[in-house]
Amino acid sequence: MNPLAEELNRILDEKSPLVLKLLSKFGKEIYFPKGILSQSQEANEKAHKFNATLGIATEGGHPMFLPSVDQFINNIHPRDVYPYAPAAGKQDLRKLRLKKIYNDNPRLNDKKLSLPIVTCGITHGLSLVGDLFVDPEDCIILPDKFWGNYRLMYEVRYGGKITTFPLFNDMGGLSVSQFRTTVEKCGKEKKKLIILLNFPNNPTGYTPTAHEAGEIRDVIIAQAKKGNEIVVVTDDAYFGLFYEDSINDSIFSYLVGKHKNILVVKLDGSTKEEYAWGFRIGFITFGLGDLANSDEIYAALEKKVMGGIRSTLSNASHLSQTLILKSIESPDYDSERKEKFEILKDRAYKVKEVLKNEKYSAVWSLYPFNSGYFMCLQLKNVNAEDLRKHLLNKYGVGVIATGDKDVRIAFSCVDIDKIEELFEIIYLGAKEIE
């Protein structure tokens, strides 16, 4: 093992044996090298005469660029566009993200968190979680309604074993009892548990109520008290899009500082929160269950994440980071985000209004939804894939079949005046197949 990795592991072993135990084989071996990047960073601070370390081309003391590219970039200095960004991301953006996390999650205000690290989208953040924490045969607990890429990532790429619990109970709420049963069962089989919670949920658009969130927290803490060592990953891709009857913060905030056997990892990003999907800017933030020695532990984890980034993507887009940073600093930022939120909220309410039509109840039932981009129908009489193909081929309407009976509709990309027509076509399509 490289001495730099050994040193990071020694720090973790002294300051937080739990975190060291939770790391995968790769997680223990990864480190951030004292190579070109670290030497260039030192030169940036001290090389006032000549800096011959940079892996870019310059002229006149500025990054070289093509005018045919630069003509499309207005009012941004070339130094904030063309050079490589730091492996962990632009420092000002990271600090603003941390401030936003505290503002959005008041229960965290007395808790020490790591400085968010910039990832190339939330998917990259999820992959880094796999790098650091998932070994073959590790148990990964998810609700049965989940984003399919989790399976591709954690089972196919990393060799983990996904175990699911029913997301909903018969009363139309989150099935905490099934979650508890699954956690307890897996906890007897494996000392290390990885629990992945995605709210607002993709595909259903559900976020727990305050009572349900408290129950989820209590289940995890109870299992930690039994001696299980737990990584809780919160995929907050759709954070902030809470429309009714749900918590308005992250499950992450319910678990930080709650038990020494818990490590919490928050994944979020500008992808949805700033409506900048193609920019591919996400963040990974750590919260310890035991906040003692947090500075040293977070620093070691940051170096390991930076090593993971360096060994794959090197760094996220500098231009994307600059644009997001300038947007957040704009005086219009909050009002612009509120305007887009209200548009999506109105669409969600319109969906609920349209689906009150009693004739639809013979064809499908509605999964609960209160947030996010999506909602799901459970079909009663037809196959979801058959319906998907029929709608596409006859009506030019696209929906996602997420199982034999489940269909996901992204109301986020349907104008409010078209929502009623959309569901009428889905209804007609289902009746025609019947």
Per the CB < 8 A criterion, the answer to whether 411 and 375 are in contact is yes
Return the beta strands (E) in 330-389 as ranges.
364-366, 374-379
Our CA angle for 311, 265, 111, nearest 5°, is 125
Q: How far is CA 395 from CA 46, 60, 72, 387, in A?
A: 64, 59, 39, 11
Q: Using the 8-state DSSP alphabet, how is residue 216 labeled?
A: H
Rg (CA), the chain: 23
Q: Can you give the pLDDT of all 434 residues of the chain as single tens digits?
A: 999 999 999 999 999 999 999 999 999 999 999 876 667 777 777 877 788 887 899 998 889 999 999 999 988 999 999 999 999 999 999 999 999 999 999 999 999 999 999 999 999 999 999 999 999 999 999 999 999 999 999 999 999 999 999 999 988 899 999 999 999 999 999 999 999 999 999 999 999 999 999 999 999 999 999 999 999 999 999 999 999 999 999 999 999 999 999 999 999 999 999 999 999 999 999 999 999 999 999 999 999 999 999 999 999 999 999 999 999 999 999 999 999 999 999 999 999 999 999 999 999 999 999 999 999 999 999 999 999 999 999 999 999 999 999 999 999 999 999 999 999 999 999 999 99
Q: How far apart, in whole angstroms, are the C-alpha atoms of residue 53 and residue 67?
A: 25
Structural domains of the chain, with CATH = 3-32+87-329 (3.40.640.10), 334-433 (3.90.1150.10)
Q: How far apart, in whole angstroms, are the C-alpha atoms of residue 191 and residue 197?
A: 19
Tokens at 77, concatenated: 């200095």
Q: How far apart, in whole angstroms, are the C-alpha atoms of residue 240 and residue 409?
A: 20
Q: Are strands 282-288 and 62-63 parallel, antiparallel or unpaired?
A: unpaired
> Which three-class secondary structure state does DSSP give residue 298?
helix
pLDDT confidence of residue 36: 67
Per the CB < 8 A criterion, the answer to whether 125 and 88 are in contact is no
Greatest CA separation found in the chain? 78
